[in-house]
A and B are shown apart, each in its own frame.
Chain A
Amino acid sequence: MLGLNLSLMLPTTLPLSAKDPTSENRGNVIGQNLPASIVRIEVTDQEADYASPWNAGHIGGGIGSGFVIIAPGGKKRILTNAHVVSNARFITLTRERVSHPYTAHVEFIAHDCDLALLSVDDPAFFEGTVPLELGGVPLIESGVSVYGYPLGGERLSVTRGVVSKIDFDLYTHSGVDSHLVIQIDAAINPGNSGGPVLQDGKVVGVAFQGYSGEVAQNVGFMIPIPVIARFLKDLSKGTYTGYTDLSIAFRPLLSAPSRRVLGLANDDLGVLVTDVQEKGSSHGFLQKGDVLHSIDNHPIASNGRVELNRESVDMTEIVEQKFEGEKVRIAVLRDGKPLVIEFPLHGTWSFRMQGNSYDEKPRYLLYGGLLFQPLDRNFLKANSMADLRIKQAFENFVEKHLYVERPEIVVLSRILADPIHKECDGLRPGIVDSINGRKIHSLADVSAAFDQPALYDVVILDGIGAPIVLSREEALKANPRIMLTYGIPSPRNL
């Protein structure tokens, strides 16, 4: 009895704050229902090992938060962060007043906006739960409450703060995507991830990232409703496709001479296109040197911002709200002539290699003790590469359009010592230029090159004078020996 009373004590503390007339006057009602809506997520995950790509990876775990919503289709689901359930092998959910954990599965996961939707295997879990309603974008300085299970606690925790800033910012989960982010000054700690941020009883965001105390304090970030709503709408068709992108580089047009040369009025409008990516939506529609004047009839200011719902936002926000195949209408000034160009949008795959990837098995090919891997962020995190060429290829992959010639950059990452290399000490990792005369544009090319009949296998690396030469006969004999010695179950995962 005593224990029960204590657990009821938690919501009874909330009406105190509800006396504050400025916010959350329904706090007591919500407070009582919250334990029925917010869940604690315990995950066992297995992070892929890009240093020994044949290994299954390190088994770890973590705790996050999530909450019950009505998913598209009317079913109850758990919304949480993608990073809470990335690489998950086993997921259990608990909530207060429920004695045992329930197993759950990832139904949809969006690494580009750090959101995931979980289904629960036993529908009994949802009995007595109250789905939370999605609200809107809160006003600056308005109060919000963050709910979740920070720092591994078993009991629901609440922190409060105000909305500090609403802006475009990086989503560190992928490390390459930027969307709308709301900064709040409520404490967000590990374990809060995926928990709801509420205002007036409605969800206004999902807590997802913060700073370590050494960098900044009282700074937490949440994923706002426009991003959540887009995620839910995208997956309502049965699969999650992801964001679309213009894939252009543009520059503000602030200086007076630039504006005069381009024949622009002194109206503070327009940005200059300085690059168009070949694989992006704008290719064939926009050109270097175009001045963008408006996007979907929103005038573009010279600093690249547009007005949307009476807020000044990055012009990318217009594209953010669109789905694969939807069209965008852009007014441009090209060679002094106004044009209106309409074209469909799609995502850009070439950025992905620069971002963190999850839920994937590392790809590799092992031949004659030589380990070949595609260059991407996961690879670089696991293998510190001193080679400047490798670093440059990674960083310039998109900016210098390297992907046009080489959709994939293959690296000879490691040489597993074996008698066939006994005189080859000092071999260094490098970018593979060609193998047996075949230019290498993907890992599949490596496989094809070694499948051709040959007396010798000749691997040429970028910028290195002497090729690596193996005798085919010896390499074929060495392959099973090397796999046995190093405990490698399979020589390749293409």
Chain B
Amino acid sequence: MKRFLPMLRLPLLVFLLIPMGCREKNTTPQKLAESVLRVTSTIQYPDNKRPWLKKQPFTRVGLGTIIEGGRLLVTADMVAHASYIALEKPEDGPKGTATVEAIDEECNLAILKPVEPELLKGTSPLPIDTMILPGSIIQILQLEPNGAPALSLANLTTVAVMPYSPDGGSYLLYRASTTIPQREGSFVIPALHEGKLAGLVMRYDPRTQSADIIPSLLIGRFMKECGKPGYSGLARAGLTDEEARGRTLREWLGAGKGLNGIIITSIDPNGPAEKAGLRKADLIVKAGGKPIDGQGNYTDPRLGKINFSNLATLESSPGDKWEIVYFRSVGEGTGTLGTATLTLEGRNPLTEISPARLQGDSVPYTFLGGLLFQELSRPYLQEWGANWRSDAPQNLVALDAFQKDLPKDQKRLVIVSLVLPSSQTIGLQELANKVVVNINGMPIHGLADVREAATHPKNGFQQIDLEGSAGPIYLDAATLPSEEARLSSEYGIPAKANP
């Protein structure tokens, strides 16, 4: 959970190479090709800095694995923010389209439903493998340009809980050592084991020849959960942890011999752990009845030592009760054992102050005169590029990074994300990317508040109070509608607000 190789989350490059995959003679490759369709998705990301725009569209091509129920399995990256998804049978077959039936960007999985059912004629769904152990040999399935299957062998080296993306959560992951040739349409490709689906390759690092594979175990859990009403992610406890390092620390905590465990470093506000009464600095010694060691692992009968968060994400459903035995120290070698019963939840974006992901395909915003208001979110900061942590406005980066330290009742943060110059906003350009505290005396906890407060100007003026030493902004309420109309026609902004 702590260490991982920073791999590029990159597709296998779209290139034509001389086919050189090692074929397995004793499999039936032709049959395997009947279990996949080529998926081409046209993706258009929303522009979080200019929320009335969408970015340049681009396409991703990969293989969708046919699963039970006449559906296809791909990674979420393959189809998130897709405006059009095309399907094609590998060997020069019929073409069609698909819609997204379920998607979870956190665990990077999505299920597609073909619009034209005849596309699935003559195909056979792949069963999902239930267990592979480290050391197994698996096959990576790609297609030649003519549709013939090309298989590469991979050696499954590691099964561990690892981060799925630099900013996202950690889930069970297979890491395999293999050579995957560059072939067209390899953004997502299946990994197979004894004729069953072992997982989806979500990234491959050609330098270290190492592939990260979303394991069949997680796929199985996702398929089980994603159809339930209100699905918002796999089960989680809502805490982060780190090792309790050092003998003297353990002595001081007083947990005694035989109790290992891991220290809670932060708790999601209003998350399951907080609601169950767990606190920062508690030592988790047992979860779901299983003892937790000093590295935060439990012992899985088949997989061995696995981070205990896997007990929530993979072994449980949102809504399940989860018992945690913890040790709460008061220092100097004394403390008490306690038991907390958590009700596991999926991700709840409403409790996130700066959400890590956008909900839906459009970015909410509101204009007030030449001022653009948006809610702070990770995708907004990520518009500053790969180095957004150092390049984006630092006041906002800190609010995003330390959002769990904000007051418990803190809701969304609204920022002035853009100041369009006008006679009313002259001299205010440098106030962009400051947090809005009040408008017309009303505290602001979301865009809805901005819209509501704007209907109550004081003495004919809109007064906007910003954080820190920025000072208030005043706008003339009477002239705002005409100014907004003028700005929107000059800058080509289709709507004053969304939604």
Chain A interface (Cβ within 8 Å of chain B)? 249, 251-258, 260-262, 272-275, 288-289, 388-389, 391-392, 395, 399-400, 420-421, 423-427, 455-456, 458, 463-471, 474
| With contact pairs A255-B427, A458-B331 given, residues A467 and B249 touching in the complex (Cβ less than 8 Å) | yes
B245/A427 in contact, CB under 8 A: yes
From the candidates A275, A388, A471, name the one contacting B398 in the complex (CB within 8 A).
A388
A469/B252 in contact, CB under 8 A: yes
| With contact pairs A254-B426, A458-B331, A471-B248 given, residues A274 and B475 touching in the complex (Cβ less than 8 Å) | no
From the candidates B249, B401, B427, B475, name the one contacting A254 in the complex (CB within 8 A).
B427
A466/B427 in contact, CB under 8 A: no
- Chain B 241-267, CB-CB to A under 8 Å as 1, else 0, gives 111111111011100000000011110
B398/A255 in contact, CB under 8 A: no
Mind listing 23 A-B residue pairs with CB under 8 Å?
A251-B427, A251-B470, A255-B424, A272-B471, A275-B469, A288-B471, A289-B471, A388-B401, A389-B402, A399-B468, A423-B246, A423-B247, A426-B2, A426-B243, A427-B245, A455-B332, A465-B241, A465-B264, A466-B245, A466-B249, A466-B265, A469-B253, A474-B248
Interface centre among B246, B247, B473 (most CB of A within 10 A): B246
From the candidates A289, A426, A463, name the one contacting B245 in the complex (CB within 8 A).
A426
The dominant DSSP class at the A interface is: mixed
| With contact pairs A255-B425, A257-B461 given, residues A421 and B246 touching in the complex (Cβ less than 8 Å) | yes
A440 to chain B, nearest CB (A): 17
Contact residues in B for A423 (Cβ distance below 8 Å): 245-247
Contact residues in B for A470 (Cβ distance below 8 Å): 248
From the candidates A395, A466, A474, name the one contacting B242 in the complex (CB within 8 A).
A466
Give Cα A400 to B468, complex, Å.
7
| With contact pairs A391-B394, A456-B332, A469-B249 given, residues A258 and B266 touching in the complex (Cβ less than 8 Å) | no
Give Cα A425 to B295, complex, Å.
12
- Chain B 307-325, CB-CB to A under 8 Å as 1, else 0, gives 0000000000000000000
B471/A251 in contact, CB under 8 A: yes
- Chain B 204-219, CB-CB to A under 8 Å as 1, else 0, gives 0000000000000000
B459 to chain A, nearest CB (A): 8
Give Cα A458 to B281, complex, Å.
13
B473 to chain A, nearest CB (A): 7
Given contacts A257-B424, A423-B246, A456-B248, 15 further A-B contacts (CB under 8 A): A251-B471, A253-B427, A254-B426, A255-B474, A256-B423, A257-B461, A420-B248, A424-B245, A456-B332, A464-B265, A465-B241, A465-B280, A466-B242, A466-B265, A469-B252
Give Cα A401 to B280, complex, Å.
27
Query: Top 8 closest A-B pairs, CB basis?
Result: A465-B265, A275-B469, A274-B471, A254-B427, A469-B249, A469-B252, A249-B469, A424-B246
Interface centre among B281, B473, B474 (most CB of A within 10 A): B474
Interface residues of B in 49-77 (CB under 8 A from A): none
From the candidates B242, B424, B461, B471, name the one contacting A465 in the complex (CB within 8 A).
B242
Give Cα A379 to B332, complex, Å.
34
Contact residues in B for A467 (Cβ distance below 8 Å): 249, 252, 281
B226 to chain A, nearest CB (A): 33
Cβ-Cβ contact count across A and B, 8 Å cutoff: 112
B426/A255 in contact, CB under 8 A: yes
A466/B263 in contact, CB under 8 A: yes
Is B397 positioned at the interface, with any CB of A under 8 Å from its CB?
yes
A456/B252 in contact, CB under 8 A: yes
Is B105 positioned at the interface, with any CB of A under 8 Å from its CB?
no
B60 to chain A, nearest CB (A): 33
B389/A257 in contact, CB under 8 A: no
Interface centre among A421, A466, A474 (most CB of B within 10 A): A466
Is B463 positioned at the interface, with any CB of A under 8 Å from its CB?
yes
B144 to chain A, nearest CB (A): 45
Contact residues in A for B331 (Cβ distance below 8 Å): 456, 458
Q: A288's closest neighbor in chain B, by CB?
A: B471
- Chain B 474-497, CB-CB to A under 8 Å as 1, else 0, gives 111000000000000000000000
Contact residues in B for A388 (Cβ distance below 8 Å): 389, 397-398, 401-402
Is B160 positioned at the interface, with any CB of A under 8 Å from its CB?
no
A252 to chain B, nearest CB (A): 5
Contact residues in A for B300 (Cβ distance below 8 Å): none
How many chain B residues touch A (Cβ–Cβ < 8 Å)? Answer: 45
Contact residues in B for A389 (Cβ distance below 8 Å): 402
Interface centre among B245, B405, B426, B428 (most CB of A within 10 A): B245
A409 to chain B, nearest CB (A): 15
Q: B473's closest neighbor in chain A, by CB?
A: A258
Contact residues in A for B263 (Cβ distance below 8 Å): 465-466
Give Cα A388 to B381, complex, Å.
15
Contact residues in A for B468 (Cβ distance below 8 Å): 275, 399-400
| With contact pairs A399-B469, A456-B252 given, residues A256 and B424 touching in the complex (Cβ less than 8 Å) | yes
Contact residues in B for A471 (Cβ distance below 8 Å): 248, 251
Give Cα A249 to B243, complex, Å.
44
Give Cα A421 to B245, complex, Å.
9
Contact residues in A for B469 (Cβ distance below 8 Å): 249, 274-275, 399
Interface centre among B243, B280, B401, B427 (most CB of A within 10 A): B427
Interface residues of B in 424-440 (CB under 8 A from A): 424-428
Contact residues in A for B474 (Cβ distance below 8 Å): 255, 257-258, 260-262
Give Cα A389 to B405, complex, Å.
12
A462 to chain B, nearest CB (A): 9
Contact residues in B for A391 (Cβ distance below 8 Å): 394
Give Cα A400 to B243, complex, Å.
33
Q: B480's closest neighbor in chain A, by CB?
A: A257
Q: A436's closest neighbor in chain B, by CB?
A: B331
A425 to chain B, nearest CB (A): 7
Give Cα A466 to B250, complex, Å.
10
A457 to chain B, nearest CB (A): 9
| With contact pairs A257-B424, A466-B242, A466-B265 given, residues A458 and B252 touching in the complex (Cβ less than 8 Å) | yes
A63 to chain B, nearest CB (A): 36
B439 to chain A, nearest CB (A): 14
Contact residues in B for A455 (Cβ distance below 8 Å): 332
Contact residues in B for A392 (Cβ distance below 8 Å): 394, 398
Give Cα A257 to B253, complex, Å.
60
A469/B251 in contact, CB under 8 A: yes
Give Cα A249 to B431, complex, Å.
13
Contact residues in A for B473 (Cβ distance below 8 Å): 258
Give Cα A260 to B247, complex, Å.
67
A255/B428 in contact, CB under 8 A: yes
Contact residues in B for A253 (Cβ distance below 8 Å): 427
B476 to chain A, nearest CB (A): 4
B245/A425 in contact, CB under 8 A: yes
B150 to chain A, nearest CB (A): 42
| With contact pairs A272-B471, A400-B468 given, residues A465 and B248 touching in the complex (Cβ less than 8 Å) | no
Contact residues in B for A261 (Cβ distance below 8 Å): 459, 461, 463, 474
Interface residues of B in 94-136 (CB under 8 A from A): none
B401/A466 in contact, CB under 8 A: no
Give Cα A420 to B246, complex, Å.
9
Give Cα A472 to B286, complex, Å.
31
A245 to chain B, nearest CB (A): 15
Give Cα A423 to B250, complex, Å.
11
Q: A425's closest neighbor in chain B, by CB?
A: B245
Give Cα A173 to B469, complex, Å.
27
A342 to chain B, nearest CB (A): 24
Q: B2's closest neighbor in chain A, by CB?
A: A426
A251 to chain B, nearest CB (A): 5
A428 to chain B, nearest CB (A): 10
Give Cα A258 to B475, complex, Å.
7
Give Cα A249 to B471, complex, Å.
9
A246 to chain B, nearest CB (A): 13
B246/A469 in contact, CB under 8 A: yes
